[in-house]
Amino acid sequence: MTLDKEVMDALVQARHSDPFAVLGQHIIRQDSKTSVVVRAFVPGTQNMYVRSGVNGAVQPMQMLHADGFFEAVFPRRKKLFPYTLISEDHDGNQHEFEDPYRFPPALSDFDLHLFGEGNFFRMYEKFGAHVMEMDGVSGVHFAVWAPNAERVSLIGACNGWDGRRYPMRLHPGVGVWEIFIPGLGEGEIYKYEIRTRDGHLRIKSDPLAFRSELRPATASIVHTIDQFTWNDEDWLQQRRSASVTDAPLAIYEVHPGSWRRVPHEDNRPLTYRELAHELADYVKSMGYTHVELMPITEHPFDGSWGYQTTGYYAPTSRYGTPDDFKYFVDYMHKNNIGVILDWVPAHFPKDDFALRRFDGTALYEHEDPRQGEHPDWGTLIFNYGRNEVRNFLIANALFWFDEYHIDGLRVDAVASMLYLDYSREEGQWIPNKYGGRENLDAIDFLKKLNETVYEAHPDIMMIAEESTSWPAVSRPVYLGGLGFGLKWNMGWMNDFLEYIEYDPIHRKYHQNLLTFGLLYAFTENFVLVLSHDEVVHGKKALLDKMPGDLWQKFANLRAAYGFMYGHPGKKLLFMGGEFGQWQEWQHDQSLDWHLLEYKEHQGLQQYVRDLNRLYRQTPALWQKDFTGDGFQWIDFQDAENSIISFIRRGNDPDDFVVVVCNFTPVPRFNYKVGVPAPGHYAELLNSDSEHYAGGNIGNFGGVDSTDDACHGFPHSIRIAIPPLATIFFKKT
């Protein structure tokens, strides 16, 4: 025997941290002579043999341990040689296979160096599971980060889920483990068995798995990521030549599992491929420019809506395979629809099969719950001060752009990342090194994230869901900002919803809620949002929030959407809001499409369709969303009548739109509005039109201006303003 019993026992008992130093082929000195030894540990095997080379001689191996440890010494060999192993069970059945422990590392020193310093931004090309060839042999290479583990093994159907069978190679220092398993391929199901320093076993899915089992199963699945044939080059070329800031952006926010279901098939959700066709047709008909999907990263609990991610690199298996999701994106692009994903780098769930205490320690999270645990959501907060954690997340953002051609990421819960005391009481948080409440590591992470992503893909969108007054969220890092391209305008949303829920008789006392947003409208690149968060948890659906009788509710909502589309900022509306969903959104059931049998809902849907058409065809409504010279008040002081009026301008100073909103149920006739230029003002859109189930009060297609000065302008128009309505005019 060429091996110490203690070493062999450690390997047989799956305690050895360096199996490649024991197993496989090694040159040894024995009796002052050089020999080659081949060792194998194959539990449950009766006999083992070594075949030298292809069709070479077969030599039996000596069993050194009853659990299946074998050794063969080749005393006349001076150099390593190619070989295969042959196992024989108790019935005499033989199986010949390649030995995983004869293959060299696939990770280079440079790969490991980049990862250790947090700059291996294509780490998904090497980490996780990859079908490949080594030395002409096909198999799968696995790599995982677990620096505090005593031992990591690949387990799966390939070895009977026996953690003794495939212990992995450790790269000391960076704590990365890897192994190449010959003979495995696409579709193999696997996990990692991790032995912690205190002797406990943890069974973990792969943090970089490209595919996962369908819940409630949690294993990872080997998937080749680059087999899909893309057909969206025209879209990508168009995207490269466009600018997000001065282009129309009307986003339809969608939860894939509940947009539309299949009632005659046990109410199942649509697959990615089914959703691609049905959603693309609908979004095109409605005139939206983009869809924004609530998180499609793998998650175990449907009720988290995807915001508690366990598989950051895997589209959820609920709706199909990764290639099915690529088909969805590709089909959207071929129909000139952009795709934005909600992405959650702020926190992750405590499910024990995933990232939590991955190697027995707080690896991805903080050890101290005052830093590492989110009090609101019962989740764990990423440790942004760790190079490898930042690397994991930044690489993940790039992954969705590189591999799935995504057009934007909406980064969830940015406010919770920026503040150490977010949702915490005194004594429940730890100040930063300067004694402040800012999370300096998270700030650095966000800046690095945005710089890296925009450097690689300058034509995409990084959108922050940030609910505080943190300055310069959507300003470049070199100007002191966080580097996002866009920011959700949560302040506008809260003020506007508060205003529109008031009974019209009280609105005159709250006109400031409509106008306050214009004081800061150009400090960020804002997206105006009426999102899923506003139609759940007892907040009521948008239509049900509106005061008044049935007619007034619909009129109120049409007027509200008109104000939103006239206001500076890009637009986002959650699914169901476009046709007047009555009940709150439910993640496990379809939208109430049957409501479109009623004219009021048909009218609201048609109005949103026409709003999107008008918006996209009118540069004055989007070319200068983020600069003050694109907006001018006409009158914001008529609180008594709850009427406001303003002008939107595009790059052409003579190209402007007049927007007038009446938020009371009282029609106003012969109402005087100042305008900057003489001419005929065509009525572009009137939310009270009979086409939208309104009362059909209007201006017979338009009005002519007079030289009667008003509101500081040299000209004016006299118009009929319907009750609870928004009207758009343009000089022709």
Residue 125 belongs to what domain range? 109-221
Residues 79 and 154 in one domain: no
The pTM of the full predicted model, rounded to 2 decimals, is 0.95
Residues 433, 435: Cα–Cα separation, whole Å: 6
The residue type of 355 is L
Residues 692 and 658 in one domain: yes
Q: What's the rounded mean pLDDT across residues 162-183?
A: 95
Let me know if residue 142 belongs to a domain: yes
Let me know if residue 167 belongs to a domain: yes
Q: What's the rounded mean pLDDT across residues 277-306?
A: 97
Contact between residue 524 and residue 463 where contact means Cβ atoms under 8 Å apart: no
How much of the chain, in percent, has pLDDT values that exceed 90?
A: 92
Q: What's the rounded mean pLDDT across residues 213-238?
A: 96
Query: How much is the pLDDT for 1?
Result: 61
Residues 113 and 216 in one domain: yes
Query: How many CB atoms within 10 Å of residue 618?
Result: 21
Let me know if residue 17 belongs to a domain: yes
Query: How much is the pLDDT for 33?
Result: 86
Query: How much is the pLDDT for 433?
Result: 94
Query: How much is the pLDDT for 2?
Result: 72
pLDDT exceeds cutoff 70 at 176: yes
Query: How much is the pLDDT for 475?
Result: 97
Residues 49 and 139 in one domain: no
pLDDT exceeds cutoff 70 at 40: yes
Where among 83, 102, 121 does a domain terminate?
102
Handedness of CA 281, 282, 286, 288 (dihedral sign): negative
Q: What's the rounded mean pLDDT across residues 377-381?
A: 93
Q: What's the rounded mean pLDDT across residues 274-287?
A: 98
Contact between residue 72 and residue 62 where contact means Cβ atoms under 8 Å apart: yes
Query: How much is the pLDDT for 32?
Result: 79
Beta strand residue intervals within 565-652, DSSP E: 570-574, 631-635, 643-649
Where among 221, 253, 282 does a domain terminate?
221
How much of the chain, in percent, has pLDDT values that exceed 70?
A: 100
Residues 205 and 122 in one domain: yes
The residue type of 403 is E
Let me know if residue 594 belongs to a domain: no
Residues 150 and 183 in one domain: yes
Q: What's the rounded mean pLDDT across residues 2-9?
A: 85
Burial readout 431-450 (b: 16 or more C-beta within 10 A, e: otherwise): eeeeeeeebebbbebbbbbb
**Structure token pair of residue 681:** 């003002």
**Residue of 564, 694, 590, 497 whose CA lies nearest to 251:** 564
Query: How much is the pLDDT for 454?
Result: 97
Kindly give, in sequence order, each residue whose CB lies less than 8 Å from that of residue 269, ignoring residues fewer than 6 positions away: 256, 257, 258, 261, 262, 318, 319
Please state, rounded to an integer, the average pLDDT across all residues of the chain.
Answer: 95
Residues 726 and 653 in one domain: yes
Can you tell me whether residue 310 is helix, strand or coil?
coil
pLDDT per position as a tens digit, 589-642: 999 999 999 999 999 999 999 999 999 999 999 999 999 999 999 999 999 999
In which band, very low, low, confident or very high, does the pLDDT at 375 lie, cut at 50, 70 and 90?
A: confident
Contact between residue 437 and residue 429 where contact means Cβ atoms under 8 Å apart: yes
Let me know if residue 596 belongs to a domain: no
Let me know if residue 368 belongs to a domain: no
Residues 116 and 217 in one domain: yes
Beta strand residue intervals within 621-667, DSSP E: 631-635, 643-649, 656-662
User: How wide is the angle at C-alpha 517 spanned by C-alphas 513 and 518, nearest 5°?
Assistant: 120
Q: What's the rounded mean pLDDT across residues 580-584?
A: 96
In the chain, count H helices and then E strands.
14, 40
pLDDT per position as a tens digit, 426-468: 889 999 999 999 999 999 999 999 999 999 999 999 999 999 9
Residues 146 and 170 in one domain: yes
Residues 60 and 128 in one domain: no
pLDDT per position as a tens digit, 642-695: 999 999 999 998 899 999 999 999 999 999 999 999 999 999 999 999 999 999
In which band, very low, low, confident or very high, does the pLDDT at 263 lie, cut at 50, 70 and 90?
A: very high
Residues 105, 101: Cα–Cα separation, whole Å: 10
* Count of positions (residues) in the chain: 732
Where among 56, 84, 102 does a domain terminate?
102
pLDDT exceeds cutoff 80 at 89: yes
Let me know if residue 364 belongs to a domain: no
Residues 87 and 21 in one domain: yes
**Residue of 243, 245, 674 whose CA lies nearest to 474:** 245
Query: How much is the pLDDT for 44?
Result: 87
| CATH number of the domain residue 125 falls in | 2.60.40.10
Q: Which residues are catalytic?
A: 412, 465
Let me know if residue 565 belongs to a domain: no
Q: What's the rounded mean pLDDT across residues 122-138?
A: 96
Structural domains counted in the chain: 3
Residues 115 and 209 in one domain: yes
| CATH number of the domain residue 661 falls in | 2.60.40.1180
